[in-house]
Structure 1
Amino acid sequence: MVFLTILKINHHDIFEDFSTFVSIGPLHIQWYAVCILTGACIAYFLGQYRFKQLGYSSTILSDYFLALLLIGIVGARIWYVIFTFDELYASSPMEIFAIWHGGLAIQGGIFSGLIYSYYFFKKHDIPFLVAGDAIMPGVLIAQAFGRWGNFFNHEAFGGEVSLEFLQSLHLPQFIIDNMYINGAYHHPTFLYESLGNVIAFLLIIFVVRRFQKHIGTQFFSYFVFYGLVRFPIEGMRTDSLMFGPIRMAQLVSIAFLIVGLVGIVYVHLKGKKISDMNQS
């Protein structure tokens, strides 16, 4: 079922040559889907490896992964459609299902994924925060890859900049060339966020995890780092989902930052220590 999201039939748009990974007859596999699935698979293997380190079956995520991927995509799509319905879908409701055109809001995927994750791990008698520590750092890698899908779809870019500015960043020429959109060069905000997510992942893995004493610290650190990365970059974008005059992603980023900080304090004061879990 997941592969329904990466196939399109007899579709043509202005960026088809750049956005299409491979064509087989009438079927076209989009770079957008390749990036999303690659990131998801890497996150899966990182989580699987961590579960094995914690003493759980290395296959525990096999039943979890495909359902989570599908639910996450649906949640991300619903979130995007809600905030762009009047503009993009009111006159063409069938376009809601054309996911290969782009239009996934990761924050919606996070919400739906968290709900499903809570249900799944409770059913399998695995503490939710233990699972969160194992999985959430890898989500940052999935998001980093997903932003490259936005690049191939020519979306999630920022305001206008000069060619000289882009050259000063020492970017590869193919990025510079494809930041020329609608007659002007733009901030590669997809790249800023992708790099920010990778840095956040490394900080959690090599700093937070090293000094972690309480279960749930990595889980809540994800929300802190993601909020810190997303908020300023969202302010640069030209295609933000809006809630009235407010950029919705910035509002959610503030909420994530607050939840993350409160959560870290809570697990430090009230949470279970990793040493206690290891002893049990």
Structure 2
Amino acid sequence: MFPILFQVGPITIRSYGALVATAVLVAWLLARSESKRNKLSPALMDDFLSWGLLFGLAGARIDYVLFSDFASFLRDPFEIIAVWHGGLAIQGAILGGLVGALWFCRRRGLSFWKLADTLAPALIIGQAIGRIGCLLNGDAYGKPTDLPWAITFTDPDSLAPKGISLHPTQLYEFAWDLLVFALLRLLRRKPRAEGILFLWYAGLYSLGRFVIESFRGDQLTYRLGPYSLSTAMTLSALALVGVLLIGFLLRFRHVRNA
């Protein structure tokens, strides 16, 4: 596609970095808007932004470095911090961001679940925009296919294999993320126990990610009996189990306190 948007002298503006920055901006603006619905100050979102970005970026990069091709990063350690080349694992970003949110809420004396519910719609729309960055960069590409909607990468700077028809997995996830966003907008209209909206987000995203991973062509896999699984599929399955358990506990607590 278009890994490089434009160059100004020695400065290269890459599409991946530009879309990630756009995703952060849109997510932040939406989180500020959602905060009013949950009786949180928009200024609180401003305070959380820097910490959320720091923890999220660290988690995203650590996840990618550890579970992609760790040996190549050992050979060229500078690439570990070269996030502008691509390589941010969204599941690691979510986990890192949650750690940052827990720390932030404990420091401020806030309800973690209320903050999580506020962030859920913003997170999924940010993820959708980020997947367009992956598409332009040739990252998170799919397996070869002869389906009529297959896409082919030809740019020499693209990370995807060149000249091969591939599943547009970036667009699959983009569409799924938009659907999840729409569902969250509907679900939030009805008052619910704190944390339930976030669990809907986490569960729906993990379900879609698990399915879409089976079409990915850039993931290292391992065998589990007759099944071939990637790290992302495993994390998605674990997240689904965790969502069900936490959802049951929150529901039980809500009923008991009613």
Confirm whether residue 61 of structure 1 aligns to residue 40 of structure 2.
no
- Match for residue 246 of structure 1? 229
The residue identity in structure 2 corresponding to 1:195 is A
- Structure 1: which 4+ aligned runs deviate by more than 4 Å? 241-245
Q: What value does the CA root-mean-square deviation take over the aligned residues?
A: 2.3
Check 1:250–1:177 CA distance in 2 against 1; reply closer, same or farther (3 A cut): closer
Deviations 1:17-76 (A, max 9, x none): x21223222111211011111112111111111112233222111121122113211211
Q: Aligned equivalents of 2:222 and 2:73: distance in 1?
A: 17
Q: Is the 8 A contact 2:153 2:164 kept in 1?
A: no
How much has 1:147 moved relative to structure 2?
0.9
- d(CA) in 2 for partners of 1:226 and 1:212? 21
SS in 2 for 1:149: helix
Query: What letter is aligned with 2:194?
Result: I
1:263 to 219, 235, 246: 246
Rounded to whole Å, the distance in 1 between the matches of 2:148 and 2:167 is 9
Q: Which residue of 2 aligns with 1:183?
A: 163
Q: Distance in 2 between matches of 1:39 and 1:49?
A: 15
Q: Which residue of 1 aligns with 2:157?
A: none
CA distance in 2: counterparts of 1:53 and 1:95, whole angstroms:
41
Q: Offset of 1:243 from its aligned partner?
A: 6.0
State how far apart, in whole Å, the 1-side matches of 2:181 and 2:142 are: 23
Residues 85-125 of structure 1, C-alpha deviations (whole Å, 9 max, x = no match): 44432322222122122111111111111011011022112
Contact 1:215 1:272 in 2 (8 A): no
Which runs of 5 or more residues in structure 2 are unaligned?
A: 155-159
Write the distance in 2 (CA, Å) between the matches of 1:81 and 1:265: 34
Which residue of 1 is the match for residue 139 of structure 2? Answer: 155
> TM-score by structure 2 length?
0.88
Cα separation, partners in 2 of 1:185 and 1:85, compared to 1, 3 Å: closer
- In the alignment, the residues of structure 2 paired with residue 210 and residue 128 of structure 1 have an alpha-carbon distance, to the nearest angstrom, of 20
Q: Secondary structure at the match of 1:55?
A: coil
Paired residues, what number?
249
Report sequence identity in percent: 31
CA distance in 2, matches of 1:177, 1:139: 29
SS in 1 for 2:68: helix
Alignment correspondent of 1:7 = none
CA contact (8 A) 2:16 2:133 kept: yes
Task: Determine helix, strand or coil for the equivalent of 1:61.
Answer: helix
**TM superposition score normalised by structure 1:** 0.81
Aligned equivalents of 1:202 and 1:130: distance in 2? 20
